[in-house]
Amino acid sequence: MSRSDDIWILGIHMTKFGKHPDLDVVDLGAQAILGALADAGVTMREIGVLAAGNLFGSGSIAQQLQKQVGQTGIPAYNVSNACATGATALRTAIMAVKAGEVDYGLAVGVEKLAGAGLLGAGGRAKSDGEEWTRSGRFGAVAPVDGRIGTEAMPGVFAQIGMEYGHRYGGTSFELFARISEKNHGHSTLNPLAAYTKAMPLEQIMNDVMIAYPNTRPMCSANCDGAAAAVVVNGETLRTLSLEQQRRAVKVSASVLTSDPWQESCQILPDVNTLTRNAARQAYEQAGVGPQDLDLVELHDCFATAELVHYDNLMLCDEGGAVDFFESGAPFRDGRLPVNVSGGLQSKGHPISATGIANIWEVCQHVRGEGGDRQIEGAKIGLAHVIGLASACGVHILERSSLAA
Amino acid sequence: MSTVTRIPFVDYLVLEPEPHLIAYECTGCGARYFDRRNACAGCFGTEFTTADVPTEGEVRAFTIVTFAAPGVDVPFVAAVVDCGGTSVRGNIINCPPDPEHVSLGMRVRLATTVVGTDSAGVEAINYGFEPA
């Protein structure tokens, strides 16, 4: 059986991000799935494969969701890839469609994180009254986090931004805070964001310091949320209604990378090389370059991270991320708007949902359905996500030219 | 006969004669690691030798952590130090934890600090880096 190679997003949905005390992880995931199916104009009957991601729940989220939205006996994959879990679920569905095994695939990512504290840090201190015993791959007699560097995410990503500053210069606490100010400003137009208040620079800089130079509003917001997408191959799409063909969004590139070995990548995670590799592959697959993009949603898990990804995604010349920001380019009225959703710092970061929610945002714009925050005339957008340590997903999405 | 009263916090810290770090060095490609290895992530080789890591270096990245997991004293400075081409993770110690005293590119040297003493009276000694 031969199928056309092109892959399309037929329907996609994102729940409101924020606090959902009355909904459990299955409620949220089901809401995203039912929304995506309705948006696609299909039912679980058509879906040939399900890939689902959830990191902090009780496991087997795919089957838990099937029990609520439709048990049809299709293969269900439970995927886990840190903050890139959503993108990995989508890649899994896309691979099955692309392989010609199924015509329609469904991917969902869901997380309940509201009230969760610092992520990434861990380890018990040595309990008194015992003798030192060695454990782990470093043969440490007590947890190394905090005693040999930091494993908590705000500090890890702070160092990643500082390392960029050391290499190229031009960074400062204030610069990183201004990146956060931009994203909080963008969030005021996004009703689905967890936080939708603009924050003045002074307020951001004077807020609680978590890991210098990242203050609290410069860190991604833990919250609840889900996102889901239905993908279809081009041949099947062309048999559907003109409305479905017009609203479908072309997946011009779908790439997932892990980090190739580099000196120091096991000391401080190297989020740069694998993102650069993913971007390069994605531009090649899509046959477009960074200059062709109308908007970018990138993984601003911390203000310090956004800066390095301007460079990694080649939105600027190598070493030119500070100049790119200073030029005003990544503001919503700039040359290449970045994170018009508000980004993870204000939209929120329900981990497994993030890698589909960023694609939802780009789809809204290229479909011309972005409402108050529509980037006028947007045709092509890029969505980027990264999870430590490490997985990077890059998708390039284009407006449909079918049934025009 | 003397009993051991000091032990290194991690396997890759050597206390005598002078405190220094050792790395597992891949005999195939020279990649260095601090953790117990199964194979080389760079060239897939399985032969390693032990190499002494220079005790002086330059701060390539740092952060000042003010919120951490329970049991971790804050604030502390976490850093990546370039020790003659080998990247090392460690805290900056013997230095006020603020951006006026810690800077990118600053020269540091290995120093030791006592983590604690167990019920048998054994001190665990950790390493950090102090301004050189």
Is A207 domain-assigned? Answer: yes
Answer yes or no: are the C-beta atoms of A91 and A256 closer than 8 Å. yes
Q: Which of residues 58-117 of B touch A (CB under 8 A)?
A: 60-74, 76, 78-80, 85-91, 99, 104-105, 115-116
Residue A148 has its nearest CB partner, among B42, B64, B91, at: B91
Q: Are residues A266 and A315 in the same domain?
A: yes
Residue B9 exposed, middle or buried by CB count within 10 Å (0-12, 13-18, 19+): buried
Structure tokens belonging to residue A75: 């293969």
Look up the CATH number of the domain holding residue A273. Answer: 3.40.47.10
Q: Are residues A288 and A379 in the same domain?
A: yes
Please indicate whether, in this complex, the C-beta atoms of B63 and A263 are within 8 angstroms of each other. Answer: no
Bridge partners (DSSP) of residue A81 are: A83
Q: Are residues A302 and A180 in the same domain?
A: yes
Residues of chain A with pLDDT under 70: 1-4, 117-129
Is A197 domain-assigned? Answer: yes
Residue A145 has its nearest CB partner, among B9, B32, B72, at: B72
Q: Are residues A104 and A162 in the same domain?
A: no
Q: Are residues A289 and A352 in the same domain?
A: yes
Q: Are residues A323 and A265 in the same domain?
A: yes
* Segments in A188-334 forming alpha helices (H): 201-206, 234-237, 242-247, 271-286, 303-312, 321-326
Bridge partners (DSSP) of residue B63 are: B78
Please indicate whether, in this complex, the C-beta atoms of B80 and A126 are within 8 angstroms of each other. Answer: no
- Closest residue in A to B125 (Cα–Cα): A141
Rounded to 5 degrees, φ, ψ at A31 are -60, -45
The complex scores an ipTM of 0.94
Contacts of B120 in chain A (CB under 8 A): 131
Active site residues of A: 83, 349
Is A137 domain-assigned? Answer: no
Task: Tally A–B CB contacts below 8 A.
Answer: 163
Torsion of CA A86, A91, A93, A95, to 10 degrees: -170
* Per-residue confidence (pLDDT) for residue A126, from 0 to 100: 54
pLDDT tens-digit profile of A93-150? 999 999 999 999 999 999 999 877 666 655 545 555 588 999 999 999 999 999 999 9
Tell whether B48 lies on the interface with A, counting CB pairs under 8 A.
no
Please indicate whether, in this complex, the C-beta atoms of A142 and B115 are within 8 angstroms of each other. Answer: yes
Name residue, tokens 């989020």.
A271
Is A134 domain-assigned? Answer: no
Strand A214-215 to A7-14 pairing: unpaired
How far apart CA B92 and CA A13 sit, in angstroms, is: 46
- Closest residue in B to A265 (Cα–Cα): B87
* Per-residue confidence (pLDDT) for residue A388, from 0 to 100: 93
Its domain, for residue A165, covers 153-217+254-397
Strand B123-131 to B6-8 pairing: parallel
Q: Are residues A194 and A232 in the same domain?
A: no
pLDDT tens-digit profile of A221-255? 899 999 999 999 999 999 999 999 999 999 999 99
Is A268 domain-assigned? Answer: yes
Contacts of A214 in chain B (CB under 8 A): 63
pLDDT tier for residue B72 given thresholds of 50, 70 and 90: confident
Contacts of B122 in chain A (CB under 8 A): 131-132
From the CA of A141, how many Å to the nearest CA of chain B?
6
Amino acid at the residue A101: E
Residue B61 has its nearest CB partner, among A126, A162, A173, at: A162
Q: Are residues A42 and A163 in the same domain?
A: no
- Phi-psi domain of A318 (left: phi exceeds 0; alpha: psi -120 through 50; beta: other): beta
Answer yes or no: are the C-beta atoms of A337 and A315 closer than 8 Å. no
Q: Are residues A234 and A284 in the same domain?
A: no
Is A145 domain-assigned? Answer: no
* Per-residue confidence (pLDDT) for residue A1, from 0 to 100: 41
Of the three residues A251, A271, A305, the one that is the final residue of a domain is A251
Residue A72 exposed, middle or buried by CB count within 10 Å (0-12, 13-18, 19+): middle
Closest CA to A251 of A50, A42, A395: A395
Contacts of A158 in chain B (CB under 8 A): 63
Residue A159 has its nearest CB partner, among B34, B78, B88, at: B78
Is A63 domain-assigned? Answer: yes
How many domains in chain A? 2
Residue B11 has its nearest CB partner, among A138, A152, A261, at: A138
Strand A391-399 to A380-387 pairing: antiparallel
Q: Are residues A78 and A210 in the same domain?
A: no
Q: Are residues A232 and A332 in the same domain?
A: no
Contacts of A135 in chain B (CB under 8 A): none
Is A270 domain-assigned? Answer: yes
Closest CA to A297 of A250, A369, A368, A354: A354
Q: Are residues A310 and A235 in the same domain?
A: no
From the CA of B70, how many Å to the nearest CA of chain A?
8
* Per-residue confidence (pLDDT) for residue A243, from 0 to 100: 97
